[in-house]
Structure formats: structure tokens, C-alpha cells
Structure 1
Amino acid sequence: MKSKKYVFLAIWLLHALIVPAQVNVTDSHSLSEKIKNNQYFAFVKAKALGVMKTGFNAGDGYREVWIRDYNTFIELAAQVYPKEVLKENLLVFFRMQGDDGNIIDGFTPAEKIGKGETDFSYSKLEPRYAGHKNTVETDQETSLVQAVYKYIQLTGDKTILNEKVGEETVRERLNRAMDFLMNHRFDKQYGLITGATTADWGDVQPEPGWGVDLDKNTHPAIDIYDNAMMVVALNNLIEMNPSANQKWSKIKTSIAKNCRKYLWDDKHQKFIPHIYLKGSPFPADFDENKIYYFGGTAVAIEAGLLSRKEIKASLEEMKKRVQQSGAASIGLTLYPPYPDGYFVNKIMNPVYSYQNGGDWTWFGARMIQQLVKYGFAEDAYEQIQPMVKRVKDNNGFYEWYSVDNKPRGSGTFRGEAGVLYEAIVMMENLKK
């Protein structure tokens, strides 16, 4: 009897080892077939390529070429433009770099600037364009570093680093851009990058005024998006320029560590919205930590700040909050939204408007990319479906979507086209 017991045990163990492997193979094959036969993927890719051929401005509602946008569609642009065109767009940002190292948000042809428009900068190195900078953001410099890195990965052209812009090389200017952040946007107490108070990755502050410029009303704060972008940029800079490793490696490691120490709420498995340096712009009884930031979390995953277990927990929290909100996808900016009136700028009101709870594929598809990267391919496939479906349903790419999934904002939004295209390509390239 005893020997039979061991035989049965051995058979059970063998079965336990073999069956999961068989299931995984079947699941993998099934996912591969689903990706191959998806009715939306081919449409979205073709539509994205068509949109990219029409220009580099962010969308129909924007005349500027924005670096935070260009960083997210340069992979798509590489499919339809020669590397010289991609490179020239990047060099414009360097020609218009500030004396203190700061990078503009975007550039637009100087002749298109109307009388009375004064919020622009100009450079002798680039007389064709006028530059604009939303100073409440702290992602222009990091976006440019990331875009140059992607350019090199896409084209193999490392010569851009030695390109002379004025008296400096691009390599030197990249370092100066990072120096700007350390000199003007770094809080020594927390060891983290700072910016104005905004909604997650947004570029509108809650205080009076138009809301895009640092001013006397600004409440400086620290958030995960700006710091995760910094970690990604420093990883890219060190890889592009190994000689910079000694200077930037310790800073990158310290910022990553402090993101976990001060911004990650381990109990609730989420990032807190803000650390306020001079008080909050919101009422004292407002519990801001109830708000979940979707976009900043996705970029934090890209920066390698979360474990695989935490990534899965983050996804489940996103799905839960999407269901609670009634939105269509995990492109949801944040949930719950800030109460109506908490942001003076009307674009952020009522709730679920623009960056205050709008549904942005521009960031949602970045989360899809990270799910693929970290081995959650089935989840990625499931979560991308509402994003690709609405491209087909609306016959195009829109800046954001309302809580009831209606297109809003700028049409022909290239940021959405770029991140969706890349997410689909990543799925199609999964090992069969």
C-alpha cells in the first residue's frame, strides 16, 4: 500500500509540472492568433501612418511641435520620414535652448505669431521659429533626452551627439538640460524634482490665471510623473553617453530611491499625488490621496520603480477605478477627479474634463506598452481593445475622450497615434 501511495504521488507531481506548461503554450498560441487576426490593429496602424505623413504638430488644434508629444510619436515618425527630418526637429530644440539649459515646450513658425502674443522666446541660432514653454511642467528637458535616445535607437545615428549647436555639442547640451533641472527644479530636502501643482502629468495649475506659467500664485510640489521621467531620461543619458555615468548614476539611483521613500504609499499600493513644499492650493479638509494617478504610475513602471507584483496590483486598481468612473479605458487620467471648481481654469471643469478625469489614450497606451514589456501580454491585449476600437469608430485619433467615451479636444492627435502604433507593434513582436 505504501509503495502505491508513492507511485500516485509521483504521478500527481508529474501532472502538476506538465499541465501548467501545456496551458501556457495553448494560451500563448491563442494570444498570438488573436493579435494576428485583430480587426482593429491593421486599421489603427495604417491610420497612424497616414496621420504621421501630414506633419509634426501635436494635432489639429495645435500649431506647435511639442517635445513632450514628439517624444511619444518619434517611433511612428521614423516609419515615414528619413532620419534627417527626425534629426532636424530635435536640433531645433537645442538651438532654442535657454542660457540656463532649459528646454522649450515647443516651436512654431515665427511668422505665425500674431500681434500681442508675447509669451514666446527667440534664439539667434534658430530665427525661423518662436519658442514657448509651459513652466508649470518639468518634463521638457527629460522628454528631449528620451527623444534623442529613441532617435539613436531607431536610426543607429550616434553622430547627433557630436553635432555642433552654437559653441556646444548636443552631448554637452543634453547634460546642461539635466543640470537645469538639478539647479532650478530640485528640492534638496526630499532629493526629488519639483514643479507646480498639476493633475498628474498635466500642464495646468489650479490657481488663478491661464494656469501654464509659474507665478506668485503657484504652489510648488513634487509628484511621481516628473521624477519618473527624470529616472527614464538619466537611464537613457547614461546609455547614450557612458562617460556621464559617474556624474548621473548616483543622482538617478538617489531619485529612484526617494520616489519609493516619499511618494509610494505601500499600504494603499499607489503613489501619493503630491508633496507640497509651501502649502496646498486645495481646502484643508480635502483628502487628495484618495485620487489615483494613472499616467504617472505608467511612467513610474517604465522607470523601473515598481516590482512585477506591484505592477499587477496597479493594473487591478486601474481597472477597478475605471469601472467605478464609467470610463472606457485605463487611459483615464485620474480617479476620483478633483471636485468642480478646484481648478480655476475652466478647461478642468466640470469633473471628467480634460486632465481632470478625461480618458487619454496618449498615456493609457504607454501603460499597455509596459504591460507587454513586463510579461502581462494577455492583460495588455484586453486593455488595449477599447482604445483601438474608438479609433475605428471615430475614424481617427483624438486628444482625449469623455467619461462616456466621446471624442474631445484636438483631432489628428499624433501622440495617441504614436503610442498606440508602438503598443501594437510590441504585441505583434511577441515571441510566438
Structure 2
Amino acid sequence: KTEKDKAVYVSAVFSALENYIEIGNYKSFSAACIYADPVRTYFDTDYWATLAMIKNRPDLVRNAILTLASGIKENGECPAGITFRLQSRTPSYYDSASFFVLMVYDYINRTGDLSLLNETVGGKTVYQYCLLTIDKLSGYEDETSLIRKPGRYNNRDWADEVNRVGYVTYVNLLYARALDCLSRIVGTRDKPRARRYHGMFLKTKDAINRLLWDDEKGYYINYKYGDFVEDNLSVDTILAVLFGISDEKQTERLLDNISRLLETRNNRDQQAGDFGVMSVFPFYRGVDRCSNRSSREYSFCNGAAWPYWSALVAYAQLTHGRDHTYALTSPFDWCVKRGIYTLCKYYSPFFPHEIVPLDTANSVFAFVYDWQDADFFCENEEVWKTKS
């Protein structure tokens, strides 16, 4: 590692450990140092933090999973997150259930600790919560085998200042991965049910690649709602590469276009100069699509750089033999030049005052370094006893 690599790594690990809090039965990675009124955690933030901690502090990952399980409702709905009082803070989000199952799977896949599934929280086991919450989410599937976010105004996923409705590629990539992971989890106890989840996974994966891939553009659309298609390139579609949803040709084209359109050093059509990896490009269309900060181009979910997504792009590039240095280090460079020594939540040259320091999700940079010699998302066949 270079001195810069060491600095990025230490900063990332610090982002997770500094935000890990234990208050009674609440033991989790809180979202950021400024989110203290009340102290709270989110399913998505916790997932990215657990990737960073799973190699060296799996005990903290286990605690976070049990804490989040307490936030799953009786009907299986998952809110965006929970407070230190173990109360849900928001309505159900369409990515939270998937993140929970991914967290359980990744923990077991890398530790072999199947006993987690028997841990009881609020009268149910972790295994039961996995089934309950994905079965609830699958109720939003329609005849296409895709999750359909209902309503004209529905901002309930990580990009919560954008009304991404209908078929959202990001939501469905997570859902497909969750079905695949759940089939492995259930396969330890109920083979017929496991085969059913695996069949659902294959159908959703096929639907993503048939209905949400734009072959002319060479990437997945952001979302489609009726006749409206938001066909900008969203950084969160990098999950297709990480989760093995895209085929080889799609993977190469998607990586090419992320470099061409989202890496600002290569994109001369955007007007903010070289500042990192954008969250989307082109910007969102439609006056009622975005709200608050995201109603402005280059701000928040509408084109700002989000370091943790940049790290995930870097990992995808790394595992496919590409130069990943820019995506991995440009957020750190930007922050350090401005006297910020822990990676901020998001940033934009046009809105430099919008700084949220010490964001937990950015700990995922440590994950990139920890797993640079292996594909983290590959199945551990010995754990799941799937080795032929």
C-alpha cells in the first residue's frame, strides 16, 4: 500500500468504529456522527459498514444484524432504519429487506457461523426474519418477476430525494441478490423451499436483463414508470456487476460507460470539472422527479459524488482487471484538499457547504482493500455444502 492507500484505509475503518455504538440492546453502526438526535442506524448504511468489518470484527457485524432484526415489523416490512430505542423511524423502504438478508448471508458466508440463524430477537429467529421480510417484499412483484414500486411519488430507497417509481433497477438488483442469498440460507433446512427461491431469483435476474437493460446505450436504465423511462446512468447499477447479474458483455459495456459518463475526468459534457464519480448522468428529467437538495443539478442524489458508491465502482473495476485508482482515491483527494480528513457523505464542487463528515457507509473503502485479492461476493461452497 502507498501512504495514500494507508490513509484511505485508516479513515474508512475509523468511520465504522467511531460510529459503532452500544446503548442497551442497540448495538450497531450509527449512520454518521451528526445523526445523534436520536442515535439511529439504517439498513443500507449498516450493510456497507459490515462489509468493511466482516474480516476483522465479525462480532460487530453479528451485533448489527441482531439490532436490525428488531426493526422488522410483524408483517415483514422493513423501515429505512431504527433508533437506539429499537423503534422504526420511517415507513418501509424497498431496499431494506434485501440488505438484511444480504447481511446475514455475507456474515455466514465469510465466518461459517450458522448459529446466527437460531438467534432470537423479539420472539422470532434470524432465520424466520429472513423469510418473513423477503416474502413481504416479494408481494410487490408483478407478472414481470420484477418489484414494482407503487404510486407516482415514492422515494423509499437510498436515493430518497428522487421519486423513482415503477421498475427501479437498483431495487431489483438488490432483490435478485437477496433471493439468491436466501436460497442458500434456506437450503440449510428446507431444500424444496430453497429451490423455489432460487427459481424466483433466476426469473428476476432474467427480467432485469430483458426489461431494464438498454442495449443501445450499453447500460441499465435507472427506472421506468408506465411510458416514462428515466434512462440516465445511475451509479447504483454497479450492483449488477458486483452481484453477477450482468453477463460478460453487459459487464464490460457497463464498466466502460461508468468510466465514460460518471468519472468526471472523462466526461466533458458535465460542467463541474474533475471531482470524482457522479451519482447519475445525465441529470434527472421532470420537474416533479426530485425534491429538496436533489432538485438542483450536481447536488445530493442528482449528480453529486457519493464516496461509498465510488468505492463500490472501484471494487467492480478491480475484480474485472481494470484500473480502479481514480474511483478508489478521488473522494479522499477531494476531501483532503479542503481540510476534511474523514470522507464526507457526499460532495459537489457547486455546493461545497453541504458536508456531512464521518459517514459510516464510507467505511466500505476498507472492504475494497481487505478483499482485493478475492471476489468477496462469491459463494463459499464449503459453508453452504454446495461443493460437488
Query: Normalising to structure 2: TM-score of the pair?
Result: 0.81
Amino acid at match of 2:98: T
Partner of 2:386: none
Find the counterpart in structure 2 of residue 365 from structure 1.
Answer: 311
Query: Which residue number corresponds to residue 255 of structure 1?
Result: 204
Q: Look up the match of 2:281.
A: 335
Alignment pair present for 1:61 and 2:3:
no
1:67 corresponds to which letter in structure 2?
F
Choose from 345, 350, 358 the match for 1:412.
358
CA distances 1:122-154 after superposition (whole Å, capped 9, x unpaired): xxxxxxx2212354x410000001111222234
Instruction: Rate the CA distance shift 1:427–1:82 in 2: closer, same or farther, 3 A.
Output: closer
Deviation at 1:420, TM superposition (A): 1.1
Paired residue for 1:193? 147
1:348 and 2:294 equivalent? yes
- Residue 41 of structure 1 deviates from its aligned partner by 0.8
- The residue correspondences of 1:215-230 to structure 2 (distance < 5 A) are 220-230=165-175
**Structure number with higher helix proportion:** 1
Taking the aligned partners of 2:90 and 2:178, their CA distance within structure 1 comes to 19
Tell me, in whole angstroms, the C-alpha distance in 1 between the residues paired with 2:84 and 2:167.
Answer: 34
Q: Is the 8 A contact 2:277 2:327 kept in 1?
A: no
For structure 2, the 5+ residue unaligned runs are 20-28, 376-388
1:2-401 aligned at under 5 Å gives the runs: 36=1, 38-55=2-19, 56-62=29-35, 63-78=39-54, 81=57, 83=59, 85-110=60-85, 129-135=86-92, 137-183=93-139, 185-188=140-143, 190-195=144-149, 198=155, 201-206=158-163, 220-242=165-187, 243=190, 244-277=193-226, 288-289=230-231, 291-295=232-236, 297-321=237-261, 322=264, 323=267, 324-325=269-270, 326=272, 328=274, 331-338=277-284, 341-343=287-289, 345-373=291-319, 375-376=320-321, 378-393=322-337, 394-401=340-347
Structure 1 residue 79, shift from structure 2 partner? 6.0
Look up the equivalent residue of 1:223 and give its one-letter code: V
Q: Is the 8 A contact 1:232 1:302 kept in 2?
A: no
Cα deviation, 1:60-118, whole Å, max 9, x if unaligned, reads 332311111110111323466461x43232122222321211122211133xxxxxxxx
Q: Show the counterpart of 1:125.
A: none
- The answer to whether the Cα contact below 8 Å between 1:200 and 1:334 also exists between their aligned partners in 2 is no
Which segment drifts farther, 174-183 or 70-79?
Answer: 70-79
Change (3 A) 1:344 1:388: closer
1:88/1:201 CA distance change after superposition, 3 Å: closer
In 2, Cα distance between the equivalents of 1:382 and 1:166? 45
Percent of pairs with identical residues: 18
In 1, are the aligned partners of 2:213 and 2:220 still within 8 Å (CA)? Answer: yes
- Preserved contact between residue 199 and residue 356 of structure 1 (Cα < 8 Å): no
Distance 1:235 1:170 in 2: 17
Structure 2 counterpart SS, 1:142: helix
Give TM-score scaled by structure 1 length. Answer: 0.73
- Contact in 2 for aligned 1:327/1:359 (Cα 8 Å): no
Distance 1:328 1:150 in 2: 35
Partner of 2:72, secondary structure, is coil
Change (3 A) 1:329 1:421: farther
Question: 3-state SS of the aligned residue for 1:304?
Answer: coil
Q: Give the direction of change, closer, same or farther, for the CA distance of 1:362–1:50 in structure 2 (3 Å limit).
A: closer
Q: Distance in 1 between matches of 2:98 and 2:282?
A: 28
Give the partner amino acid of 1:363: W
Counterpart secondary structure, 2:87: strand
Verify the 8 A CA contact 1:220 1:276 in the aligned structure 2: yes
**Equivalent residue letter for 2:43:** I
Give unpaired runs (5+ residues) of structure 1. 1-35, 111-128, 207-218, 281-286
- C-alpha RMSD of matched pairs (Å): 2.7
- Are the counterparts in 2 of residues 94 and 103 from structure 1 also a CA contact under 8 Å? no
Following superposition, which runs of at least 4 residues in structure 1 exceed 6 angstroms of deviation? none
- Count residues with an aligned counterpart: 348
The alpha-carbon deviation at position 429 of structure 1 amounts to 6.3
